[in-house]
Amino acid sequence: MKYCKKCGNEVSDNIKFCPKCGELINSNNTPNNIVNKKRKIGLKIALISVILILIFSVSAGVAYIKQNASHKDDATKNMEILNVDIDKYPEVTVSIKINNYANKINVKNITIKENDAFQKDLKLSDGVNDNEYAISYKTSDESTSSEKNIKIACTLDNDEVTAEYSYTPPEKKQTVDKKSNSSNSVNTYDNNEIKVKNSIEDYESAYIRMINSKNIDYIKGSIDLSGGLISEFTSLIKNYSEQQIEEELVSHKIEDIKKISNSEYQVTVYEKYYISYGKNKTSSYTDFRDTYVVRSTASDFKVYSIKDVVQISSKTNP
């Protein structure tokens, strides 16, 4: 049996023309509407296949990203000391590598202690590879009589990461002994020491601005207002104004930090000032050793009180 390809009417095999519409009947007897239906079905199957492939690809991609992110989160975060270069001693250069931290290092968030003495004027530069850095400084103790232990701490991604290293000064055998450090904490290091150190640095800068501007507001952000320093500094500013005294902080060095409690520390600081007096501007260089009490506040560590002030020397300018 044949079908008219134009109207779909069923016709006998021996008929040449469709009795319904007059269309010529030939061997291609499949109606157009049937052909079209088959084509539509084929297109639908192809479209469904493409959609299924896309869904599978996206699901696999999301799973891969989540798996990689999970692996990254699980990666150990630490700091490695790669080398201590003492070829230019007393200049010391420490090469470090930071593993699995998102942020880069800022020199303001780094402290280095040599045999428990904080080192000043740290200089930071990039290392050979990514996440490697070089920290340079001049040692505060240029003696070569004994081995020196370095403790480095820096703040990264709101964590404090630390590491240790030992070296022998160049007059002796120039060997180094690397100490293992695979975690973010060292038992001999106090996690608050960076915050305490930074509180002293902020205080020193604010103190000079307060003295020279005769404005108490400069120091308020650097001291614990529950202590008695506001009253003391108010009297000091009045006295300095009357005597026309100005000060310049020439140098300072944190010599010791002692833990009194989890929220209180005693800090000993060497300070050298250039001080000018009166209308004639008589001046002198004066050295002090001050002892501060630093306490934890709601926002950060701040100077609570001045426990002791010892004048070491004073040299009047001619």
Q: What percent of the chain has pLDDT over 90?
A: 36
What is the predicted pLDDT for the residue at 129?
A: 81
Q: DSSP string of 166-195?
A: EE--TTS---EEEPP--SS--TTS-TTHHH
Q: Which of 311, 291, 290, 292 is nearest to 301 (CA)?
A: 292
Q: Assign 14 a pLDDT band (cuts: 50, 70, 90).
A: confident
Q: DSSP string of 107-167?
A: GGGEEEEETTEE--S-EEEE-SSTTEEEEEEE-S----SS-EEEEEEEEETTEEEEEEEEE
Through-space distance between the first and last CA atoms of the chain, rounded to whole angstroms: 130
Give the Cα separation of 129 and 173 in Å (integer). Answer: 29
Averaged pLDDT, 239-255: 91
What is the predicted pLDDT for the residue at 179?
A: 45
Q: Other C-beta atoms within 10 Å of 109: how many? A: 14
Q: What is the pLDDT of residues 134-155, one digit of tens each?
A: 999 999 888 877 788 999 988 8
| Domain boundaries 193-316, corresponding CATH code | 3.10.450.50
3-state secondary structure 235-253: HHHHHHHHHCCEEEEEEEE
Averaged pLDDT, 229-236: 93
Q: What is the pLDDT of residues 26-66, one digit of tens each?
A: 655 545 555 455 566 666 777 777 787 777 776 666 666 66
Angle between helices 229-243 and 193-213 (to 10 degrees): 30
- pLDDT at 238 > cutoff 90: yes
What is the predicted pLDDT for the residue at 15?
A: 75
**Among 71-80, 109-118, 308-317, the least confident range:** 71-80
Asked if residue 84 lies in contact with residue 94, where contact means CB atoms within 8 angstroms, the answer is yes
Fold of 78-178: Immunoglobulin-like (2.60.40)
What is the predicted pLDDT for the residue at 180?
A: 40
CA angle 138–143–146, rounded 5-degree value: 115
The domains of the chain are located at 2-73, 78-178, 193-316
What is the predicted pLDDT for the residue at 42?
A: 66
Helix (H) or strand (E) holding 202: helix 193-213
Q: Is the model's pTM score more than 0.75?
A: no
Q: What is the pLDDT of residues 159-199, one digit of tens each?
A: 888 899 988 888 654 444 444 443 333 334 567 888 899 99
Asked if the domains 78-178 and 193-316 are classified in one and the same CATH topology, the answer is no
Q: Which of 163, 188, 191 is nearest to 178 (CA)?
A: 163
Block residue for tokens 């026309």: 244
Tell me the residue type at 228.
G
Q: What is the pLDDT of residues 119-138, one digit of tens each?
A: 988 999 887 788 899 999 99
**Among 16-20, 21-25, 34-38, the least confident range:** 34-38
Q: Other C-beta atoms within 10 Å of 226: how many? A: 11
